[in-house]
Amino acid sequence: MSDMRDVQSERDPRNVPLDYVGIENVRLPITVRTKEGGKQPTVGTFSIGVDFPHSFRGTHMSRFMEVLYQHLEEISQTRLRVTLQDIKERLKATKAMIEVAFPFAVKKSTPITKLETIMYVDASFKAELNSTGYVVTSTVTVPVHSLCPCSRDISEFGAHNQRVDVTVSWQGDLWIEDVIALVESSASQPLYPLLKRPDEKYVTEKAYLNPKFVEDIAKDLFLKLDPLSPCFRIKVVSYESIHPHNAVAIKEKRAEVTESSAKSNDQEHRDCT
């Protein structure tokens, strides 16, 4: 095959560099480490790419798949870095990026009857390796329950309540399970895939006694995450039960760039979005 023409590597007279070239929507079986020390099998949906110099006509797309098959059976921060280093070298790039989204299973016991259930949340890792360093941003979206404080206060009986999705993106050594617990403790009530009548009575009454606006959830969660992560982003979306629109609250924490941190390897990764 050595005599076959390498069209991608031919010189391109247009001299236009590209910010990103790669592949996306690649689904592969993976395992994710859990806080308890185990490994959870799941399915990852990958995007992987590099920056592209002006001098070549095209990249070698098959090499992205080769790297994925070689490295990404298990997902970890170390494994993602090795993967990106490999793809940078194979494609002669200065920057490589990868993102993997996956369903993450959480074991939950119903509050009163103590039945074991499993609830899935959407999680992802996004990593970038360039000349200034390496960074990983983790994201999880957790569905919870909120009950409106205003509705409860002004009504003679009852109050409108709704399901709320809380999306948290963060950098640092935090387990997905810990972030889920912080989100659930900031809402009116967690959600459960299964509720028997004693459980339903409990969660309904507890939510009524713990009303939260989307603003409350965002603020409470910020105060819990603040000492744990250098930067993060919280987005709370309430699917309103008495309106045709959603209510939204967003709070971000960005790491401060000091003179010493500006010289560190992660100087370009102060944004957690």
Query: What tokens does 241 get?
Result: 């039960």
Q: According to the model, what pLDDT value does residue 186 have?
A: 97
Domain covering 11-109 in this structure, CATH number:
3.10.270.10
Confidence band, pLDDT 50/70/90 cuts, at residue 77: confident
Confidence band, pLDDT 50/70/90 cuts, at residue 267: very low
Q: Kindly state which CATH superfamily the domain 137-273 is placed in.
A: Urate Oxidase; (3.10.270.10)
Q: According to the model, what pLDDT value does residue 70 have?
A: 87
Residue 94 pLDDT exceeds 50: yes
Residue 260 pLDDT exceeds 60: no
Instruction: Locate the domains of the chain by residue range.
Output: 11-109, 137-273
**Is it true that 11-109 and 137-273 share their CATH fold?**
yes
1-10, 28-37, 169-178: range with lowest mean pLDDT: 1-10
Distances (CA, A) of 27 to 30, 60, 75, 140: 9, 19, 14, 19
Residue 10 pLDDT exceeds 90: no
**Alpha-carbon span 164 to 153, nearest angstrom:** 20
pLDDT in tens, 210-224: 999 999 999 999 999
Mean pLDDT for 75-80 is 86
Residue 265 pLDDT exceeds 50: no
Confidence band, pLDDT 50/70/90 cuts, at residue 158: confident
8 Å CB contact between 128 and 134: yes
Query: What tokens does 268 get?
Result: 């370009």
The DSSP-derived string for the chain is -TTS--STTSB-TT---EEEEEEEEEEEEEEEE-TTS-EEEEEEEEEEEEEE-TTBS---THHHHHHHHHHTTEE-HHHHHHHHHHHHHHHT-S-EEEEEEEEEEEEEE-TTT--EEEEEEEEEEEEEEETTEEEEEEEEEEEEEEE-HHHHHH-SS---EEEEEEEEEEESS--HHHHHHHHHHHSSEE--S---HHHHHHHHHHHHHS---HHHHHHHHHHHHTTT-SEEEEEEEEE-SSSSSEEEEEEEE-----TTGGGSTTTT-----
